[in-house]
Chain A
Amino acid sequence: MLKIADKTFSSRLFTGTGKFSNSQLMTDAIIASGSELVTMALKRVDLNEQQDNILAPLLKHNLNLLPNTSGARNADEAIYAAQLAREALGTHFVKIEIHPDPKYLLPDPIETLKACETLSAMGFAVMPYVHADPVLCKRLEEVGVAAVMPLGSPIGSNLGLKTKEFIQIIIEQSSVPVVVDAGIGSPSDAAFAMEMGADAVLVNSAIAVARDPVEMAIAFKDAVIAGRRAYKAGLGGRSLQAQASSPLTAFLDDF
């Protein structure tokens, strides 16, 4: 079981609510994915409206909410948004997204660290969206985040794990769960991240924009399970060459 802050999860696939063509399809896909933690942009939901078409189905199905601060351009805005979310939604979980660059939506490491330090001290379970920067992830861990969420490639790009070497380092060094977020374009990307030892993945666009989001959600669910299983089973090493002979050390056999 995966544990983040005070919550445990049997599914290691986290999902999102953006980009779906309607609220029913969103609900069906999330349910099919088996996901137990669902992120949604605060800017898209009406916190005062119980019948909000994103919020209402999530609450109805008892899903854990992970409100995110998408739209925030600095630490102050993210902190304010997190407080609003906690008050309105009754969850201390928050995904910190601070991307001042609206073109590639890349996270601002300086503002993110600031926001995470403040929010962790305020008792939030903070899950920051960050570049795959191992040092930043350690710094975030030191200020008390509940997990780190390094990107595979830019949000919505579906480009896969372009940062895989760095994610590998983050996984190796991290004492908090590592959730690979952004850029996962296909179930094979998700399986690959899990095989590398990621604790979970977050997938939104690749499900929401698929021709059949429900089928794609199931495909991701299976891929994450398979990837995790492979990681635990221990993958064999890879090599293009056969390892039959040992030309450099064969002489030792003569002794």
Chain B
Amino acid sequence: MTFLDRFNQIHWDEMKISIHSKTAVDVENALQSSRLNHEQFLALISPAAEPYLEAMAQKSMHLTRQRFGNTLQLYIPLYLSNKCTNICTYCGFSLDNKIRRKTLKMEELDREVAAIKKMGFDHILLVTGEAPGTVGVSYIKSVIERLRPHFSHISIEVQPLDQEDYESLMEAGLDAVLVYQETYHRSAYEKYHLRGSKMDFNYRLETADRLGRAGIDKIGVGALIGLEDWRTDSAMVAAHLDYLEKTYWRTRYSISFPRLRPCEGEFQPVSVISDRQLVQLICAYRLFKPEAELSLSTRESEKFRDNVLPLDITTMSAYSSTHPGGYADDNILGNEDLEQFTIDDNRRPEAVAEAIRAKGLEPVWKDWSHCFSH
């Protein structure tokens, strides 16, 4: 039994209708509840909840502070490779995009690590495209082994892997895996993923189950907002999370809510979420799962990040470069021909930390220890 069995019983259109049929009474009921069920989450992301945004924000800020204290965790993504054998019509790394392809060699990796450590980071997220020939499990494993002495917490955002691959990476020092379904709409998914292993919707959907069985410490879930109706996709994320929490109860979970941004290629989102609606969604996630980590990347603007961070956010990246080799390279922002997507918040880590302090929160660089890595 995996999430796929449950997923096959959920009907996209019924879920969508259910969200849109929620009323003010449902929203008020959800706001008064201390532990929300999935139906109540639907009420909070529904159009009926839009007038209640301030109340949602107040309550979710309170829950965030109570659970996580006055702190905010910082991490940095490290792009190892932009090689990719998939064609995904929305992605800058897509095989059919004519960008310069690069995979970091070990000596280049060392230069990146040195540059990152200088900035103060201790939690790192490794990112690659999907190119099992060059950037397969053995490459990722050797990178993790090389980074282990330098970082307290190592996450990856790479292609879905088999359970035994995850177990082997965990032995090398892997702490967390982020894997987003992109969209839970099966036929839309097929339309966006035209070539490569990523075409396999089911294998991707069952990734979190394989991770849970491997006993990973943390799993990140999410949908890429813009590929399909954002409300229904988010409702699916919530259902997925509900299932995972009950099944793999030892694992921690984080949720991301990346919005599609302009990138290489001519892709335009089919579902646009406004700033206001994104705040509504983030607050709804917080009210639904007070213990979940909510992560906000530099895809969002400085202004948006600074205003949302005290409400619900527990984890943030800073000064990200999405091109491999971007940190050691002085000209970090000048290499747009290698990028996956455009960064909006370009501030240096210290400036982001200062913005966090200005909101009365302590920026946390280290919050994990090797003793707890498998």
Q: How far is the CB of B19 from chain A (nearest CB, A)?
A: 25
Residues of the B chain whose Cβ atoms lie less than 8 Å from the Cβ of A103: 245, 249, 291
**How many A residues touch the partner, as a band?**
20 to 34
| Contacts A73-B250, A158-B66, A209-B66 given; does A19 touch B371 at CB 8 Å | no
> Closest residue of chain B to A85, judged by CB?
B371
> Closest residue of chain A to B356, judged by CB?
A21
| Contacts A46-B366, A100-B250, A103-B291 given; does A156 touch B66 at CB 8 Å | yes
Q: How far is the CB of B10 from chain A (nearest CB, A)?
A: 23
| A209 and B357 form a contact (CB under 8 A) | no
| Contacts A22-B362, A102-B251 given; does A43 touch B357 at CB 8 Å | no
| B71 and A43 form a contact (CB under 8 A) | no
| Contacts A20-B362, A72-B371 given; does A209 touch B250 at CB 8 Å | no
B243 near A: Cβ within 8 Å? Answer: no
Interface centre among A45, A208, A209 (most CB of B within 10 A): A209
Q: How far is the CB of A115 from chain B (nearest CB, A)?
A: 12
| A208 and B70 form a contact (CB under 8 A) | yes
Of the candidate stretches A4-12, A76-84, A118-126, A216-224, the one touching chain B is A76-84
| A101 and B249 form a contact (CB under 8 A) | yes
* Bound-complex Cα distance A43 to B295 (A): 20
* Bound-complex Cα distance A103 to B366 (A): 21
| A44 and B366 form a contact (CB under 8 A) | yes
Residues of the A chain whose Cβ atoms lie less than 8 Å from the Cβ of B99: none
Q: How far is the CB of B244 from chain A (nearest CB, A)?
A: 11
* Bound-complex Cα distance A77 to B370 (A): 9
A71 near B: Cβ within 8 Å? Answer: yes
- Residues facing B in A70-122 (CB within 8 A) are 71-73, 77, 80-81, 84, 100-104
> Closest residue of chain A to B371, judged by CB?
A81
Partner of A42, one of B67, B245, B371: B371
* Bound-complex Cα distance A81 to B370 (A): 9
| A209 and B70 form a contact (CB under 8 A) | yes
Partner of A20, one of B70, B249, B366: B70
Partner of B70, one of A19, A46, A69: A19
A205 near B: Cβ within 8 Å? Answer: yes
> Closest residue of chain A to B249, judged by CB?
A101
B361 near A: Cβ within 8 Å? Answer: yes
Secondary structure dominating the interface of B: loop
| A84 and B371 form a contact (CB under 8 A) | yes
B20 near A: Cβ within 8 Å? Answer: no
Partner of B291, one of A43, A102, A205: A102
Partner of B364, one of A44, A84, A102: A44
> Closest residue of chain A to B292, judged by CB?
A103
Interface centre among B291, B357, B369 (most CB of A within 10 A): B369
Residues of the B chain whose Cβ atoms lie less than 8 Å from the Cβ of A19: 68-71
* Bound-complex Cα distance A100 to B360 (A): 31
Q: How far is the CB of A132 from chain B (nearest CB, A)?
A: 21
Mark each residue of chain B from 37 to 69: 1 if its CB lies under 8 Å from any CB of chain A, else 0. 000000000000000000000000000011111
- Residues facing A in B50-105 (CB within 8 A) are 65-71
A34 near B: Cβ within 8 Å? Answer: no
| A209 and B65 form a contact (CB under 8 A) | yes
Partner of A77, one of B122, B251, B252, B371: B371
Residues of the A chain whose Cβ atoms lie less than 8 Å from the Cβ of B366: 43-46
Instruction: Jot down 14 A-B pairs with beta carbons below 8 A, ordered by A.
Output: A20-B71, A20-B362, A21-B360, A22-B357, A22-B362, A42-B369, A43-B152, A71-B369, A73-B217, A73-B372, A81-B371, A102-B252, A103-B291, A156-B66
Residue numbers of B with Cβ under 8 A of A are: 65-71, 122, 152, 217, 245, 249-252, 291, 357, 360-362, 364, 366-369, 371-372
Residue numbers of A with Cβ under 8 A of B are: 18-23, 42-46, 69, 71-73, 77, 80-81, 84, 100-104, 156-158, 205, 208-209
With A71-B368, A158-B66 known, 15 other A-B pairs at CB within 8 A are A20-B69, A21-B70, A21-B71, A21-B361, A21-B362, A22-B357, A46-B122, A84-B371, A100-B249, A100-B250, A101-B250, A102-B250, A156-B67, A209-B65, A209-B70
